[in-house]
Amino acid sequence: MIVNVREGKLEGTTNKSVLTGKEYYSFLGIRYAKPPIGDLRFQPPVPIEKWNGILDAKNEGSPCIQYTNENIDIIGSEDCLFLNIHTPEAILLLLPSKIKIPKPVMVFIHGGAFVNGSGGSKTLGPDYLIIHDVVYVTLNYRLHSLGFLNLGISECSGNCGLKDQLLALKWIKENINQFGGDRNNITIFGESAGAISVHLHMLSPLSKGIFSKTIAQSGTALVSFSLNENPTETAFKLGRELDFVGNDPKEFVEFLKNQSAENLLKAAEKTQRLYCKELIGTASPLIFAPSIEVIKNDAFLPDHPKNLLKTAEPLPFLVGLNDKEGRLIYSVQSLQEDFSIVIKQNIPCHYSKIKELSDKVQKFYFGDKPICSETDDEISNLYTDLYFLNLYESFQYITKSNFPVYIYEFSFYGKFNVFSQRFMKNATTGASHADELPYLFYSNKFCKNISEIKEPEKTVINNICSMWTNFAKTGNPTDGMKDVEWKPSTFDNPRYLQINKDLTLKEGKIFEKRFSFLKNIYEFATEYPPK
């Protein structure tokens, strides 16, 4: 299965969807940039050069070096800038086909808190989406310090991971027609850190004109973990873990370039843990995350997202969250030990207000109930709101645009809610952060046998994949679907689709009472002097 792209020839392979047996082509491990090693470490990605002969594209490339299995094992490599393309039809050199109508392109940006994850098929398999006649693409980008260190100098200006994504998108736009894709109809979508990335691409002046629609699952540029607002300060925390002495950023970069990628990863993980312990207020809990760039020439993020929101060109947007996002952050023990500390870590306030503020929050979420395993749902709701309150705020900005905005709440609990099952074993309803992913992507990690896909899971898979691909095709997620019409949300008429066993359009805002309460709490917390 050979195609001809700008740089040369690629040989892929043929597969069949586990759901329907539909045949599709896969081209895996395609380099879109030079290996970001040596002098290219901490630098924007450099486009790949042309090659001679036929490049083997039958195996996925390495993910970025990262921890897995509870921060015990290290996998991946610093040489990780690869993408994967799955397509129902391609312009094959040996079996030429005439593609009359190019297919919509969907590019997924993986999550993982900017420190782990990849575009690999073990968790992001194409089998569910590909049967809806779209071209599906995944990509890898640099993570943790390798992708997001920012020292405010040209040698390390920040956001390399986002610039990797951007170069991959440019490669896709230039070459996707050879894979049967429509270069003028590219939808980017992502989850968690990937959703933040998607929204930042909407705001970045460098990404303009590359894609036409966007989907953000459980994240936007305004959530509390989307931005490191003190990147230079936190960068030097990494230096202390590596025994760097000094405060000159150029010396520091040279020092870091002489470290192995494994040493950088170990130091980054330790720095992150120590940072979270000392975290107070609404600083991002992520030390390696997107940041505003001091070097403005070709800056991906030249200003704060709130400012860029006011000037960015709006696009059709599908955005939402899961009803029990907070299960991923769930912690009974820390709440039991000192409720006020958890509140102070997430809500900036004067020390004299902490007791009153924490009492208000505890009363609202728990009433007279104790904080224990019997109040799992209440704990989950609290963490959902503390970490995702600003996602609700994003809706207010987004719905002011003239383009359609579709808002959803995913609340289905089924056999493949693997993250709920991991973090809250007694859960029987609701969806944790990332629980929607196994219904959108086939994963042989979570679904060992196709016979496991029964009702109602099969209906949920069909519904979410139909809506996501419909949106990519026409901009209307329920186009041609029976029994439901997903109407866009506007600032004056908010509404959202609840995705469960059934699809239900609801008027109003998601978690409206909780949103209003926490908004008032933040206003109370930031009053100074205290009343």
> Which residues does the annotation mark as catalytic?
192
How far is residue 524's CA from residue 531's CA, in Å, rounded to a whole number?
Answer: 9
**84: part of which helix (H) or strand (E)?**
strand 82-87
Whether omega before 231 lies within 30 degrees of 0, making that bond cis, reads no
Q: Which residues, including other chains, have CB under 8 Å from residue 112's CB and lie 6 or more apart?
A: 66, 143, 192, 193, 194
In terms of DSSP bridges, do strands 135-139 and 82-87 run parallel, antiparallel, or are they unpaired?
antiparallel
How far is residue 351's CA from residue 345's CA, in Å, rounded to a whole number?
Answer: 12
Strand order in the sheet with 54-56: 2-5, 8-11, 54-56
How far is residue 250's CA from residue 243's CA, in Å, rounded to a whole number?
Answer: 16
Helices (H), ranges, 339-448: 339-346, 354-366, 376-398, 418-423, 437-440
Asked if 50 contacts 8 with a C-beta cutoff of 8 angstroms, the reply is yes
Residue carrying the six token digits 């575009």 = 119
- CA torsion, ordered 393, 395, 397, 402, to nearest 10 deg: -170
How far is residue 43's CA from residue 90's CA, in Å, rounded to a whole number?
Answer: 34
Asked if 357 contacts 350 with a C-beta cutoff of 8 angstroms, the reply is no
Q: End-to-end alpha-carbon separation of the chain, Å?
A: 71
How far is residue 419's CA from residue 461's CA, in Å, rounded to a whole number?
Answer: 17
Query: What does residue 247 show for φ and ψ, rounded to 5 degrees?
Result: -135, 15
Asked if 334 contacts 341 with a C-beta cutoff of 8 angstroms, the reply is yes
How far is residue 56's CA from residue 390's CA, in Å, rounded to a whole number?
Answer: 44
How far is residue 488's CA from residue 497's CA, in Å, rounded to a whole number?
Answer: 9
Burial of residue 4 (number of CB atoms within 10 Å: 0-12, 13-18, 19+): middle
In terms of DSSP bridges, do strands 23-31 and 82-87 run parallel, antiparallel, or are they unpaired?
antiparallel
Sign of the CA dihedral with 482 first, then 488, 489, and 490 last = negative
Asked if 225 contacts 309 with a C-beta cutoff of 8 angstroms, the reply is no
Which amino acid is located at 135 in the chain?
Answer: V
Q: Which two tokens stand for residue 4?
A: 């001809």
DSSP lists the bridge partners of residue 105 as: 135, 186
How far is residue 218's CA from residue 196's CA, in Å, rounded to a whole number?
Answer: 8
